[in-house]
């Protein structure tokens, strides 16, 4: 009897979890706010037109949101007496960008559909639009997420990958979020655009042995051994503003900027995936889009859970 009850309970949890996931739909706002995605796209396009680097920042913002409590816009909440903001967590502080772009998109959507579209969904759509704007893949974003009323600086400090991580640590961290090693490599390919601060790769260019000597020498000009830790350098020197598969070609030449980049091609289990993507840009684009959709499904709040924030940086 106890076994039957336990089995029924487990089935119920599975059913509820599946039902929760099923509520996300690319047509979620078709009736309640049919022009939502168009309004978001206009705001995102304007922001990237002003600063090309913003495309990478918006993709990263979505990633850093979803890996902490799920895709619930918790990363946007400011510090209060009851909220420990994720913005000041180690992986995010003075690093994650694009908050004001999401705020702008939210304000435009609020003008046409007040109180309807969540900040979490705006982040997800912004990441897709950012990718498409710089020549990357596009995909149908599943919508219907709601916004959290909490944030977790502690989880941001523990659950987000670090630039010093080993391959095993990366694979394990992504698996805990329901993402495979292939998903992880595909998502890492977003480092085909964007820039990194010297503090994230100075140890690599001065200490790692699996790095092209000329590449390291070039990077040292911008990043001295001491000082200049906040200086920026493109993750991909060759095509830093275009979303392509050059990131993987760089890894095969020991020209990965971050330690956590180069471990993807260093005699380990993901070497074959890197090689595949370096030769087949269409496969990379397809897998990246699939992985972004999958990542966007990490523990969303749906139904009556959470809320639709009026202002993304504060609970209602």
State the binding site for substrate.
Answer: 161
Ramachandran angles phi, psi of 197, nearest 5°: -80, 150
User: Which residue has tokens 């100075």?
Assistant: 202
Determine the Cα–Cα distance for residues 76 and 12; give it in Å rounded to an integer: 33
Contact of 176 with 203, CB cutoff 8 Å: no
Q: Measured in whole angstroms, how far is the alpha carbon of residue 274 from the centre of its chain?
A: 19
- Three-state SS at 53: coil
Q: Measured in whole angstroms, how far is the alpha carbon of residue 98 from the centre of its chain?
A: 12
- Three-state SS at 311: strand
Contact of 251 with 261, CB cutoff 8 Å: yes
Instruction: Using the Cα atoms of residue 257, residue 263, residue 265 and residue 267 in order, give the sign of their dihedral.
Output: positive
Closest C-alpha among 138, 118, 147, 144 to residue 25: 144
Determine the Cα–Cα distance for residues 27 and 167; give it in Å rounded to an integer: 37
Instruction: List binding-site positions for heme b.
Output: 191
Task: List alpha helices for the chain, DSSP H.
Answer: 2-22, 36-50, 54-66, 99-112, 119-133, 153-159, 167-175, 181-188, 202-207, 213-222, 246-252, 259-262, 271-279, 281-295
Catalytic residue status for 259? no
Half-sphere exposure of 66 (CA within 13 A, CB side): 28
Closest C-alpha among 275, 279, 278, 234 to residue 257: 234
Catalytic residue among 62, 64, 259, 299: 64
Q: Is 153 left (phi over 0), alpha (psi -120 to 50) or beta?
A: alpha
Residues known to be catalytic? 64
């Amino acid at each position: 009897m106890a076994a039957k009850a336990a089995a029924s309970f487990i089935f119920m949890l599975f059913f509820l979890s599946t039902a929760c996931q099923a509520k996300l739909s690319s047509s979620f706002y078709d009736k309640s706010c049919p022009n939502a995605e168009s309004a978001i796209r206009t705001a995102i396009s304007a922001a990237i037109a002003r600063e090309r680097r913003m495309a990478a920042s918006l993709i990263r913002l979505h990633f850093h949101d979803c890996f902490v409590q799920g895709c619930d816009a918790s990363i946007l909440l400011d510090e209060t007496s009851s909220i420990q903001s994720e913005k000041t967590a180690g992986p995010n502080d003075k690093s994650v960008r694009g908050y004001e772009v999401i705020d702008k998109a939210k304000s435009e959507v609020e003008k046409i559909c007040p109180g309807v579209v969540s900040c979490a969904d705006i982040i997800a759509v912004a990441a897709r639009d950012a990718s498409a704007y710089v020549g990357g893949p596009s995909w149908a974003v599943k919508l219907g997420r709601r916004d959290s009323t909490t944030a977790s600086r502690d989880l941001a400090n523990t659950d987000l990958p670090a630039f010093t991580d080993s391959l095993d640590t990366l694979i394990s961290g992504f698996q805990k979020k329901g993402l495979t090693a292939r998903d992880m490599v595909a998502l890492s390919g977003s480092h085909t655009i964007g820039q990194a601060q010297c503090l994230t790769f100075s140890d690599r260019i001065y200490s790692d042995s699996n790095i092209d000597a000329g590449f390291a020498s070039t990077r040292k000009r911008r990043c001295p051994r001491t000082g200049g830790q906040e200086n920026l350098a493109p993750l991909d020197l060759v095509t830093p503003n275009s979303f392509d598969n050059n990131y993987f070609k760089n890894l095969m030449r020991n020209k990965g900027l971050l330690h956590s980049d180069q471990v993807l091609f260093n005699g380990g289990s993901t070497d074959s995936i890197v090689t595949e993507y370096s030769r087949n840009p269409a496969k990379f684009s397809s897998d990246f889009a699939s992985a972004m959709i999958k990542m966007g499904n990490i523990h969303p709040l749906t139904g009556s859970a959470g809320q639709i924030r009026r202002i993304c940086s504060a609970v209602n």
